[in-house]
C-alpha cells in the first residue's frame, strides 16, 4: 500500500522540474490535514520545496546557482490558472513591466475577478485586488498593461519620451485587440493609443 507521501512524490515526479503544485492538487490521496502533513515531511526531507503557503515544487537545480525558484509572474499565472481567473498587472508592477519605472516593486499587484488575497513569496508579496469586470474586459495583453500603467502614472506625470515608448509597445499589439481595448480606456489614454494605429 503506497503512503500519501509516495503518491504525492509520484505525481510531482511525473511533471517537469519547476512545476508548481497546490495542496488541493493532492486531495484525492487523503484528507486536507493528511496532505498538509505529508507535504511538510517531504519539504523537511528536502524532496520538495515550499514556495509559499500551500504552493510546492521540485525545483530545477543549476550547477552554478543551485535551486532555480519560479518568478513572481510564474506564481501569479499558476494561481490564475488554478482559480480560473483573469488577472492584469497594475500600479508599479505595470509601470516596471513597460520600462516606465526602474523601481522593482516588492508588492506585485494584480487586478482580478477572483477572491482578493495576498501571497508572500520570499521577501515579496503578490497581491490580488478584486476589481470591476470592466477593468478586466481588455482582450490585448499589451494594451491592458498600458492602460493600467498609464492610470497609475497619471496624465500629468507622463513625458513625451514615455508616450513614444508606449506607442512602440502598442504597435506590437494586434490591431483588432488594440481597437477593442481603446474603447475601455479614459479619453486621455485613448488619445495616446490612437498614435499606434
What domains does the chain contain, in order, with CATH numbers?
Answer: 4-68 (1.10.10), 72-194 (no CATH)
Exposed e or buried b for every residue in 2-35, given b needs 16+ CB within 10 A?
Answer: eebbebbbeebeeeeebebbeeebbeebbeeeeb
C-alpha 56/C-alpha 54 separation (Å) is 7
Give the separation between CA 45 and CA 74, rounded to whole angstroms.
25
Question: Residue 2 corresponds to which cell in the numbers above?
Answer: 503506497
Give the position of cell 470592466.
Answer: 134
pTM: 0.85
The three cell numbers locating residue 69: 525558484
Q: What is the DSSP secondary structure assignment for residue 183, as one 8-state letter?
A: T
CA 148 to chain CA mean position, Å: 15
Q: What is the pLDDT of residue 1?
A: 65
| CB distance 138 to 184 below 8 Å | yes
Lowest mean pLDDT among 30-34, 47-51, 121-125, 181-185: 121-125
State the cell numbers at 41.
515531511
Residue found by looking up cell 497594475 in the block? 90
Q: What pLDDT digit, counting tens, does each position of 62-103 carry?
A: 999 998 999 999 999 999 999 999 999 998 899 999 988 888
Amino acid at each position: 500500500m503506497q503512503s500519501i507521501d509516495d503518491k504525492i512524490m509520484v505525481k510531482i515526479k511525473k511533471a517537469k522540474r519547476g512545476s508548481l503544485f497546490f495542496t488541493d492538487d493532492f486531495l484525492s490521496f487523503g484528507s486536507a490535514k493528511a496532505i498538509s502533513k505529508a507535504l511538510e515531511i517531504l519539504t523537511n526531507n528536502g524532496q520538495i520545496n515550499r514556495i509559499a503557503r500551500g504552493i510546492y515544487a521540485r525545483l530545477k537545480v543549476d550547477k552554478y546557482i543551485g535551486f532555480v525558484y519560479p518568478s513572481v509572474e510564474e506564481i501569479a499565472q499558476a494561481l490564475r490558472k488554478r482559480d480560473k481567473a483573469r488577472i492584469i498587472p497594475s500600479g508599479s508592477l505595470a509601470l516596471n513591466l513597460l520600462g516606465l519605472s526602474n523601481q522593482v516593486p516588492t508588492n506585485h499587484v494584480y487586478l482580478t475577478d477572483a477572491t482578493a488575497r495576498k501571497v508572500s513569496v520570499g521577501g515579496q508579496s503578490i497581491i490580488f485586488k478584486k476589481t470591476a469586470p470592466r477593468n478586466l474586459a481588455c482582450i490585448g495583453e499589451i494594451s491592458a498593461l498600458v492602460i493600467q500603467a498609464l492610470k497609475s502614472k497619471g496624465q500629468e506625470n507622463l513625458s513625451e519620451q514615455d508616450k513614444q515608448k508606449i506607442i512602440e509597445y502598442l504597435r506590437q499589439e494586434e490591431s483588432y485587440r488594440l481597437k477593442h481595448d481603446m474603447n475601455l480606456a479614459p479619453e486621455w489614454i485613448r488619445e495616446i493609443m490612437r498614435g499606434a494605429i
